[in-house]
């Protein structure tokens, strides 16, 4: 099966899931115990205001009509209006999306690059102090609560040493020329070195704490996969040919050890997206996770609904991309 046919098949299989997800997200607002209008605006407002909000949210119509209206608007990018800010929910999400993308991408980068490097190093120096400390690190890393780690990093690097800023994406008053709203990238594109370093300083602790669990898992899987591969005959042959050890490890062995590692990296997407909710809360990072938590606090349910739908859809599509990548790496998958 050609890759594009596999992609179409995979996409078609997703449609019922997308519908199901949308129904669940839609029903959430109706599962709030008590009257959702009361919960959202309190019971002290006038009867007129209540009726106005009810009409605005379409609550006076039957449930299935409400769903159809909501869903058809949602797929056109209209997720309703935030009760608190009166802004379109889609716009609220879009304005915060770059912050979350930047955070998760940098965290993923840290997890993958350092994870593979540490994992390979541990396998290369099996049963030495280096290996033991890598194992120890990955053991601690998978169990550490990242929100607590974030707080401890703040205490050490911000409060005690004063090296890194406590929260936010940029220092107060730093003018930003935004191109992509990914500040690291913007700094590079516009050649604004000050912006780049400022953004990087703000990003280091959140990205590191978000990356920890994934990093530890990548180390673990890379190590064990490399150990399997390093005992293969073709590695011995490569060594016998007199190739440099570094070349044998990074070229011959690593390439063959990658499939389980890619699987684990694919699974990290969900972890990072969940983790972003926590990390953004710890570091007051102005992303989607913080928008969600704040909106829950303010009972701004249109925003909650919008964010959950958006993230769930994004997650499903990212999984399709990961699957495509496997299918590309291992053609057997396409025929299953």
175 near other proteins, judged by CB under 8 A: no
227 near other proteins, judged by CB under 8 A: no
251 near other proteins, judged by CB under 8 A: no
143-162 positions binding other proteins, by CB under 8 A: 143-145, 147-148, 151-152, 154-155, 158-159
Give the residue, chosen from 139, 244, 251, 329, that forms a contact with other proteins under the rule CB under 8 A. Answer: 139
Q: Which residues contact residue 243 at a Cβ distance below 8 angstroms, ignoring those fewer than 6 apart? A: 252
- Specify burial of residue 166 (Cβ count, 10 A radius: 0-12, 13-18, 19+): middle
Yes or no: say if 260 and 221 are a contact pair by the CB < 8 Å rule: yes
142 near other proteins, judged by CB under 8 A: yes
140 near other proteins, judged by CB under 8 A: yes
46 near other proteins, judged by CB under 8 A: no
Q: Which is nearer to other proteins, 16 or 175 (CB)?
A: 16
Yes or no: say if 81 and 301 are a contact pair by the CB < 8 Å rule: no
Give dist(CA 135, CA 330) in Å, integer. Answer: 29
Yes or no: say if 230 and 236 are a contact pair by the CB < 8 Å rule: no
Yes or no: say if 59 and 37 are a contact pair by the CB < 8 Å rule: yes
3-class state of residue 186 by DSSP: helix
Q: Which residues contact residue 28 at a Cβ distance below 8 angstroms, ignoring those fewer than 6 apart? A: 301, 304, 305, 308
Q: Which is nearer to other proteins, 7 or 315 (CB)?
A: 315
63 near other proteins, judged by CB under 8 A: no
Q: Which residues bind other proteins (CB under 8 A)?
A: 16-17, 20-21, 24, 28-29, 31-33, 139-140, 142-145, 147-148, 151-152, 154-155, 158-159, 166, 270-271, 273-275, 277-278, 281-282, 292-293, 296-297, 304, 308, 311-312, 315-316, 319
């Amino acid at each position: 099966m050609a890759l594009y046919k596999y992609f179409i098949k995979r996409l078609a299989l997703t449609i019922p899931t997308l519908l199901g997800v949308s129904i669940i997200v839609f029903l959430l607002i109706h599962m709030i115990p008590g009257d959702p209008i009361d919960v959202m605006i309190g019971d002290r407002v006038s009867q007129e205001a209540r009726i106005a909000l009810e009409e605005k949210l379409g609550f006076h119509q039957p449930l299935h009509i409400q769903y159809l209206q909501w869903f058809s608007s949602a797929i056109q990018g209209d997720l309703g209006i935030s009760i608190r800010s009166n802004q379109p929910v889609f716009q609220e999400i879009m304005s915060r999306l770059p912050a979350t993308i930047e955070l998760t991408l940098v965290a993923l980068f840290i997890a993958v690059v350092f994870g593979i490097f540490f994992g390979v190093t541990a396998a290369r120096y099996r049963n030495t102090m280096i290996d033991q400390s890598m194992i120890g690190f990955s053991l601690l890393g998978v169990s550490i609560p990242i929100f607590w780690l974030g707080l401890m990093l703040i205490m050490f690097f911000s409060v005690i040493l004063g090296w890194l800023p406590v929260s936010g994406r940029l220092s107060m008053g730093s003018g930003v020329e935004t191109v992509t709203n990914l500040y690291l990238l913007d700094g590079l594109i516009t050649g604004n070195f000050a912006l780049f370093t400022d953004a990087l300083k703000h990003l280091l602790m959140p990205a590191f704490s978000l990356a920890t669990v994934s990093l530890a898992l990548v180390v673990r899987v890379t190590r064990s996969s490399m150990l399997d591969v390093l005992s293969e005959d073709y590695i011995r042959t490569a060594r016998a040919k007199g190739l440099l050890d570094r070349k044998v490890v990074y070229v011959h062995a690593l390439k063959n050890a990658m499939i389980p590692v890619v699987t684990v990296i694919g699974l990290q997407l969900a972890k990072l997206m969940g983790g972003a909710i926590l990390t953004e809360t710890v570091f007051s990072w102005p992303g989607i996770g913080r928008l969600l938590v704040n909106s829950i606090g303010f009972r701004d349910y249109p925003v909650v609904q919008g964010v959950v739908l958006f993230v769930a859809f994004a997650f499903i599509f990212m999984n399709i991309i990961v699957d495509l990548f496997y299918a590309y790496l291992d053609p057997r998958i396409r025929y299953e």
